[in-house]
Amino acid sequence: MMQQWADAAGERRPPGRPRSADADRAIVEATLELLTESGVASLAIEQVAARARVAKATIYRRWPNKEALILDALATVEDRPPELPGTSLRDDLLTLLRDVVGRAVDPRRSQLYAWMVAEGERSPEIAHRYKSLVVERRRRLLQSVLESWREKGELRSDVDIQIAELLIAAPMLVYRVHWYPGEEPPPGFIERVVDAALQGLVPRH
């Protein structure tokens, strides 16, 4: 994951001594801890170095600036997709949306997401990298679930996958970002979203 920033930017690590995975983990974990404690605006590379017990030069050899480090930390937080049950399309979609809700109420993720939204408006490059590192990966997972169950006949063969994605993901995004940021939906809400979407997507017998 630490190398993903370099990959996304089209850069290569210079020859020499290999990077330390332990140092990478310590730096990213220190970044996440400091973001949770004091927010993005107060974060300084000097603080990260002190918390991770590494030299500032060690950080700058890995990340060109604070923004790059924060984005990589965000991608690390989002790194583990949920394990899908594979028992039905509905079960897989419920698992995906419950995972989204769980991530939304995590203070580290909410801090990082708020920073990304604000910074992304000022910097199209940051918005693009966030999309490449985080959004597209989760979108591809949803796509693969829909396509797999369409092949098994649980979705209509004529379903537009892109529209299906929006029908499923958009209600949760609006709820957790715009209407009730940081709040967990009431019991049964996720099930209602999935069932309402599936009414228009499943085969009609």
Q: What is the pLDDT of residue 187?
A: 92
Domains recognised in the chain with CATH numbers: 4-76 (1.10.10.60), 81-199 (1.10.357.10)
Lookup: tokens for 125 = 């490059």
Rounded to 5°, the CA angle 122-127-130 comes to 145
Beta strand ranges found along the chain (DSSP E) = none
Q: Point out the least confidently predicted range of 36-40, 67-71, 78-82, 143-147.
A: 78-82
pTM tops 0.95, yes or no: no
CB proximity list for 150: less than 8 A, separation 6 or greater: 156, 157, 159, 161
47 class by beta-carbon count within 10 Å (0-12 exposed, 13-18 middle, 19+ buried): middle
- Cα(67)–Cα(75) distance, rounded to whole angstroms? 12
Cα gap 36→111, rounded to integer Å: 7
**What number is the average pLDDT over the span 67-80?**
79
Whole-number pLDDT of residue 81: 81
| pLDDT band at 180; cut points 50, 70, 90 | confident
